[in-house]
Chain A
Amino acid sequence: MKIKILMTLLSLAALSLLASGCASHLVAGSWPGVIADEERAYVAAGPFVYAVNLRTGIEEWRFPEKASTANPFYAAPALTPDGQQLIVAGFNHILYSLDPLTGTTNWEFTASRDRYYAAPLIANDLIYAASADYTLYAVTFEGDLAWQFSATQAIWAAPVSDGAQVYFGALDRTVYAVEARRGTLAWKQTLDSAILGSPALGTDGEVFVASMNGRVYALDGQSGDLLWPQPFQAQAQIWAGPLVFDGGLYIADVDGAVYRLDPATGQETQPRLRAGSAIVSRPLIYEQTLLFGTENGSLFLLTVPDEIQTLEVDGQLYGTPALAGEIILVAPQNADSPLVALNIQGVRRWTFTPEK
């Protein structure tokens, strides 16, 4: 009898271990995203999207009312040009329009069959929402589907638009250009590996894209043709999208190296800089300074061309910081506070800690 009881207990313990071990891997993650208007910061930080008063650092509202741990929010929200709608995209496959003042829902767009990891792009009077269900949805400001375009793998990065076309990369190693109003394919170009970051638009109609295996490409925005004789090869994987700034093309890799390339040739134009930790998102532009979030929880500041500085924050800074006037907003992962406001000297204005 004792053996029977022991074996039953062992069975239950083993099965519980299996169940909990499996369940612990159910919730897959991304990293927090933040934006701001003149009044508030909006941070998508797991179970809630918080609206935080910019002057006081105090929470004004949170969405949804009840914590959603199984279906969190990570994609940075986006504001419509009139500032009347805050567009929020969740792991629950739903795109929401919220009132930025109160957090109440205007409408829901439910066509997606998978999660949203990418921040919505608002351009051309449309909301472009890239989903992990392989689809780019163009949604009107009333929440209706304008068109949709399907890639052959998930889309994790936000699209960009020059007004005529929308450009985005997908995990299927392909860059797509679709007509902004109708969603018809203009061209597509298949590269060497998955594309995890947003493209960058050049001043002469180029589209710059980085692939996961560390290659950077320049494509012709009209035809998709490759413009450089060969892609630039970084030393490590590239997750962050490139950035065109001050006549240079800036790239960062997961080893924390920051490169400046000549957009016309793809050649490095200055010695590479070291942030000391992985960079997986595009930097924030603050006057002449680029602010890169790094995995070890510090901000790496590059004042163009080559003056560097580091500001210690907290947790892991995977996402792109946001700017509100002179306030820099960072949303750390695995930190006590999902939102920290500081100035360019690194002095903290406030730290937002949500009430339980």
Chain B
Amino acid sequence: MWETLIVNPFTNVLLLIYNLVGQNFGVAIILFTVLIRLITHPLMVKQIKSTQAMQQMQQSKEWQAIQKKYKDDKEKLGQEQIRLYKEMGISPFGSCLPTFIQLPIMLGLYQSVIRALAASPMQLLVLTRALWPLPGLSELIPINSQFLWMNLGQPERVYIGGIGIPFLAIIVAVTTYIQSKVTIPPVTNPNDQSAQMNQSMALMMPLMMAYFALSFASGLALYIVVSNLLSVGQYALLGKVYWSNLLPKSRRSDGGKTEKAK
């Protein structure tokens, strides 16, 4: 099922794009990422709205009163929070769901990249059987895995003085951190649990993504970098980028409200 619905279509679309762009697999991954971002754009808009609604709830007087009232009764506070979510039509998972949807896409893309590059005889045998019967598709094999300085089928390293530096993994960590920070609304309520979770995710995700980039094919790392940049771009288009989150707290003159929410 996974193979039929995700990996095989991803692989064939990747190869079709690869053929269209003059057999450059790196460009194919970038364009494929753009395609995925376009398809998942409505989900992202939903995520932004949900996050904004959550933030409004956190700032509401009613919620602050509830917090004050039940500050010593965590269970009751939780119940009231869920009640308020329902009343305001907020899904507590609404802001996280699109992020989770990204994970199977990443997994599918990774498997597709590895499948398309077919770096071993057994992988090539599997690939040739997964190809759609379109003219010219089988002619593309073997795929040129070189892109800039990278072999997209292998983890990336730049060797300087005999030491392998994971340049791309560093870019992955930095872009993931920036993407996580600038797309989360500034914390206005220090007791806001979802905000705390977002903050911890903003630290955990760059480390996890850097680990993936270190360990797995650089094609995946390229996807993550492009995906991060596109994500920031999408948020910027919607006017939801909070660049001030990148500044130290002491330098945020406006309390983090550098972008006007639409």
Contact indicator per residue, chain B 126-155, by CB within 8 Å of chain A (1) or not (0): 001000000000110110000000000000
A194 vs B212: C-alpha distance in the bound complex, in angstroms?
A: 31
**B230 on the interface (CB 8 Å rule)?**
no
Among residues of A, the one whose C-beta sits closest to the C-beta of B2 is: A21
A323 vs B216: C-alpha distance in the bound complex, in angstroms?
A: 40
Q: Are A7 and B96 in contact (CB under 8 A)?
A: yes
Number of interface residues of A (CB under 8 A): 38
A213 vs B212: C-alpha distance in the bound complex, in angstroms?
A: 35
**B249 on the interface (CB 8 Å rule)?**
no
A313-348: which have CB < 8 Å to B? none
- Among B102-110, B168-176, B182-190, the one that faces the other chain is B102-110
Q: Are B197 and A4 in contact (CB under 8 A)?
A: yes
**Shortest Cβ distance from A335 into chain B, in angstroms?**
15
Known: A2-B78, A10-B100, A193-B139. A17 touches B107 (CB 8 A): yes
- Among A26-34, A57-65, A202-210, the one that faces the other chain is A26-34
Among residues of A, the one whose C-beta sits closest to the C-beta of B85 is: A3
Q: Are A28 and B141 in contact (CB under 8 A)?
A: no
Q: Are B122 and A28 in contact (CB under 8 A)?
A: yes
A274-318: which have CB < 8 Å to B? 280
**A98 on the interface (CB 8 Å rule)?**
no
Q: Which residues from A are CB-within-8-Å of B250?
A: none
**B119 on the interface (CB 8 Å rule)?**
yes
Q: Which residues from B are CB-within-8-Å of A31?
A: 121-122
Known: A22-B107, A171-B142. A1 touches B193 (CB 8 A): yes
Number of interface residues of B (CB under 8 A): 37
The main secondary structure of chain A at its interface with chain B is loop
**A258 on the interface (CB 8 Å rule)?**
no
**A117 on the interface (CB 8 Å rule)?**
yes
Contact indicator per residue, chain B 6-43, by CB within 8 Å of chain A (1) or not (0): 00000000000000000000000000000000000000
Number of A-B contacts (CB under 8 A): 90
Partner of B107, one of A18, A26, A28: A18
Q: What are 18 of the A-B contact pairs (CB < 8 Å)?
A: A3-B78, A3-B194, A4-B197, A7-B96, A17-B107, A18-B107, A19-B212, A21-B110, A21-B111, A22-B110, A25-B110, A28-B114, A29-B120, A117-B121, A153-B142, A154-B119, A193-B141, A196-B124
Known: A1-B78, A10-B100, A25-B110. A194 touches B197 (CB 8 A): no
Among residues of A, the one whose C-beta sits closest to the C-beta of B74 is: A1
**B229 on the interface (CB 8 Å rule)?**
no
Partner of A8, one of B107, B123, B124, B197: B197
A195 vs B197: C-alpha distance in the bound complex, in angstroms?
A: 53
Q: Are A28 and B119 in contact (CB under 8 A)?
A: yes
A237 vs B139: C-alpha distance in the bound complex, in angstroms?
A: 11
A3 vs B194: C-alpha distance in the bound complex, in angstroms?
A: 9
A154 vs B93: C-alpha distance in the bound complex, in angstroms?
A: 47
Q: Which residues from A are CB-within-8-Å of B96?
A: 7, 10
A19 vs B110: C-alpha distance in the bound complex, in angstroms?
A: 11
Q: Which residues from A are CB-within-8-Å of B92?
A: 3
**B220 on the interface (CB 8 Å rule)?**
yes
**Shortest Cβ distance from A286 into chain B, in angstroms?**
25
**Closest 6 A/B residue pairs (Cβ):** A28-B120, A29-B122, A21-B107, A171-B142, A14-B103, A25-B114
**Shortest Cβ distance from A2 into chain B, in angstroms?**
6
**A11 on the interface (CB 8 Å rule)?**
yes
Q: Are A30 and B193 in contact (CB under 8 A)?
A: no
**B208 on the interface (CB 8 Å rule)?**
yes
**B203 on the interface (CB 8 Å rule)?**
no
A193 vs B204: C-alpha distance in the bound complex, in angstroms?
A: 45
**A156 on the interface (CB 8 Å rule)?**
yes
